[in-house]
Amino acid sequence: MNYFSSDFKLGILGGGQLGKMLLADTRKFDIQTYILDPSEEAPSQFGATKFFRGSLMDFDTVYQFGKMVNLLTIEIENVNLDALDKLEAEGLPVYPSPKTLRLIQNKGRQKDFYVQNNIPTSPHQRFVDLNDLRKSLEKDELEMPFVWKCAQFGYDGNGVKIVRSTLDLVNLPEVECIAEQMVPFKNELAVIVARSVSGEVKTYPVVEMEFHPEANQVEYVICPARIDEKVAKKATEIALKVSEAFTHVGLLAVEMFQTEDDEILVNEVAPRPHNSGHYSIEASYTSQFENHLRAILDLPLGNTNSKVAGIMVNLVGEEGFSGQVIYENIEKIMAIDGVTPHIYGKRETRPFRKMGHVTIVNENMDEARKIAEKVKNSIRVIS
């Protein structure tokens, strides 16, 4: 198949920032792209060959969109899987497959899958809804504290809450959910696995994530993780086992906990480019976005090693500000060596909304971490 400067059309479901960054590489290779997204403000609308506005959850919309392209991929998991099943049955290559997405889309099913495949994960219980969970608490079948997660449609700290008392259950939505045992951990790690159509597999180095204490969002992604080599090896092996179990095509970001006694537990996965791999645009030989393309098009995978230490800082809307976005002090951080901002193109800011990220590359990890702190404290996303 000739993908380059040809009539081949790649369809992407979702037109957020991940799609926008993926388009930088389709542009580089001159591959035609069609994008479907519900928002007229979608960051990907300007980079695609053709942009279509429509619901990702509507069967007909997704099915008709799929009929226009030669291959279909996603940048968000919440899409209509029945439409993808039909398209796949009619011979359209869909990566990751609807079968893989079905296992991942529902967090309860995803957790059960780990247990069935002997993949280490924290103990969990599934509930039809919040009422079902309350009954379980009344019968002492569930112990506090636990982590509540809605089974579907949660993202970036939305749909996740630590429950320490019944008061924490107030205002939670009445939806299917899971309760996970709280794991005392010393690090949150992630490994991105790229797997091509013909089964070539490569892993990116283990990264470490530092979280914002209140927003439950990643503040820094640090590559390589500052952990013992044995732990890194174990994390990589487990990520490969997870990747094999899901038999996904494309990228799989495997998020994990490193416990106090250095066990590795899988938290959750995302079958697409992921926040924990954004550093790779500047710091790696081949970015996660390029390798996602290579994998789904069954081209040889690129080198996943890092050229330098990389740290990513998320740019999120500051509390107390909503409206037309202003990036305060952006020129100050751009005066620092090795600092590259990525602005996602969302015109409206609101508290904790992901508006962009900044990559810091440096030969020296400690120096990179210091600069990252400086960047974090300088730039403000306000209105």
The boundaries of every CATH 3.30.1490.20 domain in the chain are 123-181
SS (H, E, C) 69-114: CCEEEECCCCCCHHHHHHHHHCCCCECCCHHHHHHHHCHHHHHHHH
Give the pLDDT score at 9: 98
Q: Which residue has the higher pLDDT, 328 or 216?
A: 328
User: Which part of the chain has CATH 3.30.470.20?
Assistant: 185-382
As annotated, the residues of the chain forming the CATH 3.40.50.20 domain(s) are 9-94
Question: 185-382 belongs to which CATH class?
Answer: alpha beta
For the annotated binding site for ATP, the residues are 107, 149, 180-183, 188, 267-268
CATH architecture for segment(s) 9-94? 3-Layer(aba) Sandwich (3.40)
Which of helix, strand or coil describes residue 24?
helix
pLDDT tens for each residue of 11-63: 999 999 999 999 999 999 999 999 999 999 999 999 999 999 999 999 999 99
| pLDDT tens digit sequence for 331-371 | 999 999 999 999 999 999 999 899 999 999 999 999 999 99
State the chain's mean pLDDT as an integer.
Answer: 95
CA angle 43/47/52 to nearest 5° reads: 70
The pLDDT score that the predictor gives to residue 322 is: 97
pLDDT at 215 over 90: no
Task: List all residues 6 or more positions away from 140 whose beta carbon is below 8 Å from its beta carbon.
Answer: none
- Of 139-148, 205-214, 255-264, 282-291, minimum mean pLDDT range: 205-214
Q: What is the tens place of the pLDDT at every residue in 135-177?
A: 999 999 999 999 999 999 876 667 899 999 999 999 899 999 9
Q: Residue ranges for the binding site?
A: 107, 149, 180-183, 188, 267-268
- CATH number of the 123-181 domain: 3.30.1490.20
Residue 253 three-state SS: strand
What angle, 0 to 180 degrees and rounded to 10, lies between the N-to-C axes of helices 81-89 and 59-66? 30
Longest dimension (CA), the chain: 63
Distances (CA, A) of 364 to 42, 224, 281, 312: 36, 11, 18, 15
| Contact yes or no for 161/147 (Cβ under 8 A) | yes
